[in-house]
Structure 1
Amino acid sequence: MSPSDPAPPSGFARHLPINGEEHYGVRALPELYKEWSTSGMVANIGTRLVEVDYGKLVLEGTMTAESHGFPTSRGPIVHGGAIATLADEALASVAFTVAEEGETTVTADLKIDFLRPAKPGRLVARATVRHRTRRLAFCEATVEQGRSEIVAEARAVIAYVRA
Protein backbone atom coordinates (compact mmCIF):
# COMPACT_ATOMS: atom_id res chain seq x y z
CA MET A 1 0.00 0.00 0.00
CA SER A 2 1.52 3.31 -1.03
CA PRO A 3 0.88 6.70 0.60
CA SER A 4 -1.38 7.64 -2.33
CA ASP A 5 -3.64 4.59 -1.85
CA PRO A 6 -6.99 5.26 -0.19
CA ALA A 7 -7.40 4.21 3.42
CA PRO A 8 -8.42 0.57 3.88
CA PRO A 9 -11.93 -0.32 5.05
CA SER A 10 -12.54 -0.10 8.77
CA GLY A 11 -10.95 -2.78 10.91
CA PHE A 12 -8.04 -3.33 8.50
CA ALA A 13 -5.27 -1.36 10.19
CA ARG A 14 -3.87 -4.23 12.23
CA HIS A 15 -4.12 -6.65 9.30
CA LEU A 16 -2.29 -4.67 6.62
CA PRO A 17 0.89 -6.12 5.14
CA ILE A 18 4.07 -4.56 6.51
CA ASN A 19 6.76 -2.99 4.30
CA GLY A 20 4.98 -3.93 1.08
CA GLU A 21 5.15 -7.67 1.80
CA GLU A 22 2.40 -9.70 0.19
CA HIS A 23 -0.18 -10.76 2.76
CA TYR A 24 -0.48 -14.46 3.67
CA GLY A 25 -4.04 -14.87 2.32
CA VAL A 26 -3.25 -13.22 -1.01
CA ARG A 27 -0.15 -15.38 -1.40
CA ALA A 28 -1.82 -18.68 -0.38
CA LEU A 29 -5.15 -18.45 -2.22
CA PRO A 30 -3.91 -19.20 -5.78
CA GLU A 31 -2.24 -22.41 -4.56
CA LEU A 32 -5.40 -23.45 -2.73
CA TYR A 33 -7.48 -22.95 -5.89
CA LYS A 34 -5.10 -25.23 -7.79
CA GLU A 35 -5.85 -27.96 -5.22
CA TRP A 36 -9.60 -27.30 -5.11
CA SER A 37 -10.05 -27.16 -8.89
CA THR A 38 -10.20 -30.94 -9.21
CA SER A 39 -12.93 -31.74 -6.68
CA GLY A 40 -15.98 -30.51 -4.82
CA MET A 41 -18.02 -27.44 -5.62
CA VAL A 42 -15.09 -25.53 -7.11
CA ALA A 43 -14.74 -28.24 -9.76
CA ASN A 44 -18.52 -28.60 -10.16
CA ILE A 45 -19.04 -25.01 -11.26
CA GLY A 46 -15.64 -24.68 -12.93
CA THR A 47 -14.49 -21.89 -10.66
CA ARG A 48 -11.32 -20.09 -11.67
CA LEU A 49 -9.49 -17.41 -9.69
CA VAL A 50 -9.12 -14.47 -12.09
CA GLU A 51 -7.78 -11.67 -9.85
CA VAL A 52 -6.76 -11.58 -6.21
CA ASP A 53 -5.61 -8.70 -4.04
CA TYR A 54 -5.85 -7.72 -0.40
CA GLY A 55 -9.58 -7.42 0.36
CA LYS A 56 -10.83 -7.96 -3.18
CA LEU A 57 -11.00 -10.68 -5.82
CA VAL A 58 -12.66 -11.85 -9.01
CA LEU A 59 -13.80 -15.44 -9.63
CA GLU A 60 -15.22 -16.93 -12.79
CA GLY A 61 -17.52 -19.93 -13.03
CA THR A 62 -18.85 -21.84 -16.02
CA MET A 63 -22.45 -22.94 -15.67
CA THR A 64 -24.01 -25.47 -18.02
CA ALA A 65 -27.70 -26.10 -18.66
CA GLU A 66 -27.17 -29.82 -18.00
CA SER A 67 -25.42 -29.46 -14.62
CA HIS A 68 -26.59 -26.11 -13.26
CA GLY A 69 -29.78 -25.12 -14.99
CA PHE A 70 -33.20 -26.05 -16.16
CA PRO A 71 -35.34 -25.33 -19.23
CA THR A 72 -37.90 -22.54 -19.40
CA SER A 73 -40.18 -21.31 -22.17
CA ARG A 74 -37.51 -18.64 -22.89
CA GLY A 75 -34.60 -21.06 -22.94
CA PRO A 76 -32.44 -22.57 -20.20
CA ILE A 77 -31.50 -20.57 -17.10
CA VAL A 78 -29.03 -21.23 -14.29
CA HIS A 79 -30.40 -22.49 -10.97
CA GLY A 80 -30.20 -19.90 -8.18
CA GLY A 81 -28.34 -22.39 -5.99
CA ALA A 82 -25.46 -22.51 -8.49
CA ILE A 83 -25.32 -18.70 -8.57
CA ALA A 84 -25.38 -18.61 -4.75
CA THR A 85 -22.55 -21.15 -4.66
CA LEU A 86 -20.36 -18.97 -6.87
CA ALA A 87 -21.17 -15.92 -4.72
CA ASP A 88 -20.44 -17.85 -1.51
CA GLU A 89 -17.09 -19.07 -2.88
CA ALA A 90 -16.16 -15.50 -3.80
CA LEU A 91 -17.19 -14.13 -0.39
CA ALA A 92 -15.34 -16.76 1.67
CA SER A 93 -12.32 -16.46 -0.63
CA VAL A 94 -12.14 -12.67 -0.42
CA ALA A 95 -12.28 -12.93 3.37
CA PHE A 96 -9.35 -15.35 3.13
CA THR A 97 -7.27 -12.65 1.40
CA VAL A 98 -7.15 -10.78 4.72
CA ALA A 99 -6.77 -13.91 6.90
CA GLU A 100 -3.78 -14.40 9.14
CA GLU A 101 -1.61 -17.48 8.74
CA GLY A 102 -3.30 -20.41 10.50
CA GLU A 103 -6.83 -19.08 9.90
CA THR A 104 -9.39 -20.41 7.47
CA THR A 105 -12.80 -19.01 6.56
CA VAL A 106 -16.34 -20.35 6.91
CA THR A 107 -19.60 -18.68 5.99
CA ALA A 108 -21.63 -17.71 9.06
CA ASP A 109 -24.41 -15.85 7.23
CA LEU A 110 -25.22 -15.42 3.53
CA LYS A 111 -27.83 -13.18 1.96
CA ILE A 112 -28.40 -13.02 -1.77
CA ASP A 113 -30.68 -10.97 -3.99
CA PHE A 114 -31.37 -12.43 -7.43
CA LEU A 115 -31.93 -9.52 -9.82
CA ARG A 116 -32.48 -11.37 -13.10
CA PRO A 117 -32.12 -14.87 -14.53
CA ALA A 118 -28.68 -15.99 -15.69
CA LYS A 119 -28.16 -18.00 -18.84
CA PRO A 120 -25.77 -20.94 -18.95
CA GLY A 121 -22.21 -19.86 -19.65
CA ARG A 122 -19.58 -17.77 -17.94
CA LEU A 123 -20.50 -15.92 -14.74
CA VAL A 124 -18.14 -13.55 -12.93
CA ALA A 125 -18.21 -12.87 -9.18
CA ARG A 126 -16.52 -9.70 -7.86
CA ALA A 127 -16.09 -9.59 -4.09
CA THR A 128 -14.72 -7.15 -1.52
CA VAL A 129 -14.18 -7.12 2.22
CA ARG A 130 -16.02 -4.17 3.78
CA HIS A 131 -14.88 -4.66 7.40
CA ARG A 132 -12.74 -7.11 9.37
CA THR A 133 -12.81 -7.75 13.10
CA ARG A 134 -10.71 -10.26 14.98
CA ARG A 135 -13.09 -13.13 14.22
CA LEU A 136 -15.39 -11.92 11.42
CA ALA A 137 -15.29 -10.34 7.98
CA PHE A 138 -18.22 -8.51 6.43
CA CYS A 139 -18.10 -8.97 2.67
CA GLU A 140 -20.14 -8.17 -0.42
CA ALA A 141 -20.19 -9.50 -3.98
CA THR A 142 -21.89 -9.16 -7.32
CA VAL A 143 -22.40 -11.96 -9.83
CA GLU A 144 -22.35 -10.73 -13.41
CA GLN A 145 -22.95 -12.10 -16.87
CA GLY A 146 -22.14 -10.62 -20.25
CA ARG A 147 -21.19 -6.97 -20.29
CA SER A 148 -21.27 -6.50 -16.53
CA GLU A 149 -24.99 -7.29 -16.30
CA ILE A 150 -25.51 -7.96 -12.60
CA VAL A 151 -27.63 -11.06 -12.02
CA ALA A 152 -27.20 -11.23 -8.22
CA GLU A 153 -25.87 -9.27 -5.26
CA ALA A 154 -24.71 -11.01 -2.09
CA ARG A 155 -23.53 -10.13 1.40
CA ALA A 156 -21.96 -12.44 3.92
CA VAL A 157 -20.54 -12.60 7.39
CA ILE A 158 -17.49 -14.83 7.21
CA ALA A 159 -15.99 -16.32 10.38
CA TYR A 160 -12.29 -16.99 10.92
CA VAL A 161 -11.43 -20.31 12.54
CA ARG A 162 -8.06 -21.80 13.35
CA ALA A 163 -7.08 -24.29 10.66
Structure 2
Amino acid sequence: IDMTSLVEGYILVPITFSCVFGLLFMIYNNYMWKIRFLNKIWNVPNISGRWKCEGNTYKKSPSESQRTGCRGIERQYSWEGSVTIIQKWNSILISLSTDKSNSESFMAQIEVIDNKSCQLLYAYKNVTIPGAFVDMRGHEGICRITFSESLTFGAGEYFTNPKDRLSYGTMKWIRV
Protein backbone atom coordinates (compact mmCIF):
# COMPACT_ATOMS: atom_id res chain seq x y z
CA ILE A 1 0.00 0.00 0.00
CA ASP A 2 1.31 3.40 -0.99
CA MET A 3 0.86 5.45 2.22
CA THR A 4 1.66 8.76 0.50
CA SER A 5 -1.29 8.56 -1.90
CA LEU A 6 -3.52 7.24 0.89
CA VAL A 7 -2.73 10.24 3.13
CA GLU A 8 -3.06 12.71 0.26
CA GLY A 9 -6.30 11.24 -1.10
CA TYR A 10 -8.24 10.29 1.99
CA ILE A 11 -7.02 12.73 4.60
CA LEU A 12 -5.62 15.91 3.06
CA VAL A 13 -8.31 16.41 0.39
CA PRO A 14 -11.29 16.37 2.82
CA ILE A 15 -9.43 18.59 5.32
CA THR A 16 -8.49 21.09 2.58
CA PHE A 17 -12.03 21.08 1.17
CA SER A 18 -13.54 21.61 4.64
CA CYS A 19 -11.22 24.51 5.42
CA VAL A 20 -11.89 26.23 2.09
CA PHE A 21 -15.66 25.70 2.41
CA GLY A 22 -15.66 26.98 6.00
CA LEU A 23 -13.72 30.11 5.07
CA LEU A 24 -15.92 30.88 2.04
CA PHE A 25 -19.10 30.30 4.07
CA MET A 26 -17.88 32.59 6.85
CA ILE A 27 -17.11 35.37 4.35
CA TYR A 28 -20.48 34.96 2.61
CA ASN A 29 -22.47 34.62 5.87
CA ASN A 30 -20.98 37.78 7.39
CA TYR A 31 -20.32 40.09 4.43
CA MET A 32 -21.04 39.04 0.86
CA TRP A 33 -24.80 38.42 1.18
CA LYS A 34 -25.19 42.15 1.93
CA ILE A 35 -23.89 43.10 -1.53
CA ARG A 36 -26.90 44.42 -3.42
CA PHE A 37 -26.51 42.12 -6.43
CA LEU A 38 -26.22 38.95 -4.33
CA ASN A 39 -28.91 40.20 -1.94
CA LYS A 40 -31.40 40.44 -4.81
CA ILE A 41 -30.55 36.93 -6.04
CA TRP A 42 -31.24 35.32 -2.66
CA ASN A 43 -34.08 37.74 -1.82
CA VAL A 44 -32.97 38.19 1.80
CA PRO A 45 -33.68 41.78 2.93
CA ASN A 46 -30.97 43.44 5.00
CA ILE A 47 -32.65 44.99 8.05
CA SER A 48 -29.56 44.95 10.27
CA GLY A 49 -28.63 48.08 12.16
CA ARG A 50 -30.16 50.44 14.71
CA TRP A 51 -33.79 51.52 14.81
CA LYS A 52 -35.71 54.05 16.90
CA CYS A 53 -38.85 52.48 18.36
CA GLU A 54 -42.10 54.18 19.40
CA GLY A 55 -44.60 51.93 21.13
CA ASN A 56 -48.07 51.95 22.66
CA THR A 57 -49.25 49.38 25.19
CA TYR A 58 -52.87 48.28 25.55
CA LYS A 59 -54.25 46.04 28.25
CA LYS A 60 -57.59 44.45 29.07
CA SER A 61 -58.70 41.92 31.58
CA PRO A 62 -59.54 38.47 30.14
CA SER A 63 -63.23 38.85 31.00
CA GLU A 64 -63.41 42.27 29.33
CA SER A 65 -61.68 40.88 26.25
CA GLN A 66 -64.26 38.08 26.02
CA ARG A 67 -67.15 40.56 26.31
CA THR A 68 -66.01 43.28 23.93
CA GLY A 69 -63.23 41.79 21.82
CA CYS A 70 -60.62 44.31 20.65
CA ARG A 71 -62.95 47.26 20.04
CA GLY A 72 -62.84 50.42 22.12
CA ILE A 73 -59.60 49.66 23.93
CA GLU A 74 -57.77 52.70 25.24
CA ARG A 75 -54.02 53.03 25.27
CA GLN A 76 -52.52 52.30 28.68
CA TYR A 77 -49.22 54.10 28.06
CA SER A 78 -46.68 55.07 25.39
CA TRP A 79 -43.00 54.28 25.45
CA GLU A 80 -39.81 54.72 23.41
CA GLY A 81 -36.81 52.51 22.89
CA SER A 82 -34.06 51.49 20.55
CA VAL A 83 -33.79 48.31 18.52
CA THR A 84 -30.54 46.72 17.41
CA ILE A 85 -30.66 44.02 14.75
CA ILE A 86 -27.62 41.83 14.16
CA GLN A 87 -28.29 39.95 10.94
CA LYS A 88 -26.25 37.45 9.01
CA TRP A 89 -27.32 35.41 5.99
CA ASN A 90 -28.40 32.47 8.14
CA SER A 91 -29.33 34.09 11.48
CA ILE A 92 -30.81 37.18 13.07
CA LEU A 93 -30.86 38.64 16.60
CA ILE A 94 -33.21 41.44 17.67
CA SER A 95 -32.59 43.42 20.88
CA LEU A 96 -34.97 46.10 22.16
CA SER A 97 -34.00 48.42 25.02
CA THR A 98 -36.24 50.86 26.89
CA ASP A 99 -35.80 52.69 30.18
CA LYS A 100 -37.96 50.01 31.88
CA SER A 101 -36.85 46.74 30.27
CA ASN A 102 -34.68 44.91 27.76
CA SER A 103 -35.75 42.15 25.44
CA GLU A 104 -33.90 39.80 23.13
CA SER A 105 -35.18 37.45 20.46
CA PHE A 106 -34.74 33.72 20.73
CA MET A 107 -36.38 32.90 17.39
CA ALA A 108 -36.81 35.05 14.27
CA GLN A 109 -37.97 34.80 10.66
CA ILE A 110 -38.03 37.22 7.74
CA GLU A 111 -40.63 36.75 5.04
CA VAL A 112 -40.59 38.65 1.75
CA ILE A 113 -44.04 39.86 0.66
CA ASP A 114 -44.67 40.36 -3.08
CA ASN A 115 -40.94 41.01 -3.73
CA LYS A 116 -41.47 44.52 -2.33
CA SER A 117 -41.73 44.64 1.41
CA CYS A 118 -40.87 42.17 4.14
CA GLN A 119 -42.22 41.05 7.46
CA LEU A 120 -40.19 40.18 10.54
CA LEU A 121 -41.73 37.76 13.01
CA TYR A 122 -39.85 37.02 16.21
CA ALA A 123 -40.33 35.61 19.68
CA TYR A 124 -38.63 37.37 22.55
CA LYS A 125 -37.84 37.19 26.25
CA ASN A 126 -38.15 40.44 28.22
CA VAL A 127 -36.34 41.28 31.46
CA THR A 128 -37.46 44.31 33.47
CA ILE A 129 -35.23 46.91 35.06
CA PRO A 130 -35.76 48.00 38.71
CA GLY A 131 -38.23 50.89 38.81
CA ALA A 132 -40.46 49.50 36.07
CA PHE A 133 -44.26 49.80 36.23
CA VAL A 134 -45.97 47.69 38.89
CA ASP A 135 -47.57 45.36 36.33
CA MET A 136 -44.40 45.20 34.25
CA ARG A 137 -42.55 41.97 34.90
CA GLY A 138 -40.40 39.59 32.93
CA HIS A 139 -42.31 37.93 30.14
CA GLU A 140 -42.12 36.26 26.75
CA GLY A 141 -43.98 37.39 23.67
CA ILE A 142 -44.25 37.53 19.91
CA CYS A 143 -43.74 40.54 17.66
CA ARG A 144 -44.60 41.10 14.00
CA ILE A 145 -43.18 44.09 12.09
CA THR A 146 -43.90 44.87 8.44
CA PHE A 147 -41.24 47.00 6.72
CA SER A 148 -41.61 49.49 3.91
CA GLU A 149 -40.10 48.66 0.52
CA SER A 150 -37.19 51.01 1.24
CA LEU A 151 -36.48 49.19 4.54
CA THR A 152 -36.34 52.51 6.44
CA PHE A 153 -39.64 52.19 8.33
CA GLY A 154 -41.53 49.35 10.00
CA ALA A 155 -44.77 49.03 11.94
CA GLY A 156 -46.51 46.18 13.70
CA GLU A 157 -47.84 44.61 16.86
CA TYR A 158 -46.58 42.64 19.82
CA PHE A 159 -48.39 40.19 22.07
CA THR A 160 -47.22 38.92 25.44
CA ASN A 161 -47.70 35.48 26.88
CA PRO A 162 -50.90 35.63 29.00
CA LYS A 163 -49.40 33.53 31.79
CA ASP A 164 -46.60 36.08 32.26
CA ARG A 165 -48.25 39.41 31.45
CA LEU A 166 -51.49 39.91 29.57
CA SER A 167 -50.86 42.90 27.29
CA TYR A 168 -50.29 43.78 23.68
CA GLY A 169 -49.39 46.84 21.71
CA THR A 170 -48.17 48.52 18.58
CA MET A 171 -44.71 49.64 17.52
CA LYS A 172 -43.21 51.87 14.85
CA TRP A 173 -39.56 51.47 13.91
CA ILE A 174 -37.53 54.13 12.08
CA ARG A 175 -34.02 53.32 10.86
CA VAL A 176 -31.38 55.49 12.51
Higher strand fraction (1 or 2): 2
- When normalised by structure 1's length, the TM-score is 0.38
User: Larger Cα Rg: Structure 1 or Structure 2?
Assistant: 2
Question: Larger relative CO (CA 8 A, sep 6+): 1 or 2?
Answer: 1
